[in-house]
Amino acid sequence: MSDGEAGVFALRLDELFRSLPGPDGRPYSAKTIAQRAADRGYRIGESYLSQLRSGKAKSPSFRTVEGLAAAFDVDIRHFLTDDAERRTRAEIERFRAMADPEVHRVAQRLAGLPRETVAVVDDLVDVLHRRREPVIAADQGLHLVADT
């Protein structure tokens, strides 16, 4: 792993620590992630984990990367895929969605609705997409109120 790749790895690892809440709603600690990795059959020391996060340790084994992905419950590609490939994959998914007849059907039903209504539906779709991702920021939730 080159220094540049190690820096990207450290950034991605730090991103997980900062953005994924633990079961108690607080950010994960190195101790907790080391324990979660151990519970899944991977040995990763707390100090080594801190070195990886800071970029001081630059060459994690594939097994370590696999253990981190398991501990955070993320796809291992989070650590291994470069940004250009991620963007390309996202673009392909957008094209795939645009070719989906169900997407067209929903879009046609939105035609003619007031702009404000379309904006609400757009916001709802954003919320639904975020629910599929590993992190939902607390302040981005949508509260629906039933009509009575």
pLDDT, tens digit (0-9, with 9 covering 90-100), for 114-148: 999 999 998 898 888 787 755 434 444 444 444 43
Q: Which domains are delineated in the chain?
A: 3-80 (1.10.260.40), 83-140 (no CATH)
The rounded mean pLDDT for the chain is 80
How would you class 37 by CB atoms within 10 Å of its CB: exposed for 0-12, middle for 13-18, buried for 19 or more? buried
For position 6, what pLDDT does the model report? 56
Position 86 pLDDT exceeds 70? no
Q: What is the pTM of this model?
A: 0.54
Higher pLDDT pick, 120 / 96 = 120
The dihedral formed by the CA atoms of 59, 88, 84 and 79, expressed in degrees to the nearest 10: -20
